[in-house]
Amino acid sequence: MSEPIKNRYEFVLLFDVENGNPNGDPDMGNMPRIDPQTGHGIVTDVCLKRKVRDYIDLVKSDDSGRNVPGYNIYVKSGVVLNDLHAMAYKSINRPPKGKKELADPAATQFMCENFYDIRTFGAVMSTGVNCGQVRGPVQLNFSRSIDPIFQQEVTITRLAVTTEGDREKGRTMGKKQIVPYALYRTEGYVSAHLAQKTGFSDDDLELFWESLVNMFEHDHSASRGKLSARKLIVFKHDTALGCCQSHLLFDKVRVERISGDLPPRSFGDYRVTVDRDVPAGVEIIEKL
């Protein structure tokens, strides 16, 4: 594995949705998530991390579906996490630690080395077989739409029926929950200090930027509509501790609606500007 990163980073990602549902709320009939006080749309950090994980799982798998060594995914469908913890102890030839025992540091290190999402986002691995807890160097805020969104429920019809008893009903009705258009902004952090503990490297970081740019390209579905990454602006500090507070850098990226009184319906209805007057020791890198 490569050496851990030695620089602190912050980043701003802009992505949009057209006629789709970027992140449904199961407590609200799967309607797109909103801030009830302002009407702005919300996409959770967990939602974006899922897409990053799925992208890494796709690009770091061989023809047989096996992950490239070091790029397994810890949190994915159908996996029993305690089985992975037990595998770690088996691999290091040591007896597994129980939930109330201290985790073996070698088992924690094994999990960081072998699972990309653990050394990136961290993980709680102290349930059942105890492999410890890890704080990941990469963290994301909730995404928030630039403007309030309009939640729309669209009625659809289906010619086929599910059961023999429904045959006489003919076509049946259903619902789709969409946002006609919204531009979302998310902000994130990459800590060189925490990367030293998990082994998150420059190669891992480049793969993470790649995943943010391309994660929607392999996640299309009828319900999600047209999701696209539009801008990825990275702030690189020349030290591990950084040169200024993160919010000062986030404020350098401004998004302005230019569609007047008309509701936005495309990325062209916005203007994105980046103030390049940043503190000494900070470099702006536009990945998209």
Local confidence band at 156 (pLDDT 50, 70, 90 cut-offs): confident
CA distance 82 to 11: 33
CA distance 120 to 21: 27
- Block residue for tokens 């407590």: 27
Angle at 106 between CA 102 and CA 107, to 5 degrees: 70
- Bridge partners for 34 per DSSP: 41
The CA-atom distances, in angstroms, between 71 and each of 43, 48, 64, 131, 157 are 26, 18, 15, 18, 42
The CA-atom distances, in angstroms, between 68 and each of 85, 90, 284 are 19, 20, 32
CA distance 268 to 274: 16
**In this structure, what token pair is assigned to residue 251?**
């404020």
**pLDDT at position 172:** 73
Within 10 Å of residue 199's Cβ, how many Cβ atoms?
19
Instruction: List Cβ neighbours of 260 (8 Å cut-off, separation of 6 or more).
Output: none
Is it the case that residue 77 has pLDDT exceeding 90? Answer: no
Is it the case that residue 151 has pLDDT exceeding 70? Answer: yes
**pLDDT at position 127:** 83
- Pairing between strand 172-190 and 138-140? antiparallel
CA distance 112 to 197: 9
Instruction: List Cβ neighbours of 257 (8 Å cut-off, separation of 6 or more).
Output: 146, 147, 264, 269, 270, 271
Nearest Cα to 149, choosing from 18, 34, 268?
Answer: 34
**pLDDT at position 282:** 95
Q: Tell me the pTM.
A: 0.90
The CA-atom distances, in angstroms, between 204 and each of 8, 32, 87, 282, 288 are 14, 31, 23, 21, 18
The share of the chain scoring above pLDDT 70, in percent, equals: 98
Query: What's the whole-number mean pLDDT along residues 169-190?
Result: 88
**In this structure, what token pair is assigned to residue 25?**
């709320």
Within 10 Å of residue 169's Cβ, how many Cβ atoms?
11
**pLDDT at position 96:** 86
Cα R_g (the chain), whole angstroms: 22
**pLDDT at position 72:** 92
* Domain map (residue ranges) of the chain: 1-44+142-147+179-288, 64-136
Instruction: Report DSSP state, residue 109.
Output: H
- For the stretch 214-243, pLDDT in tens is 999 988 888 888 999 999 999 999 999 999
**In this structure, what token pair is assigned to residue 67?**
């992950």
Exposure class string for 230-263: b at 16+ Cβ within 10 A, else e: bbbbbbbbeeeebbeebeebbebbebeeeeeeee
* 175: Cα within 13 Å, side-chain hemisphere: 8
Local confidence band at 260 (pLDDT 50, 70, 90 cut-offs): confident
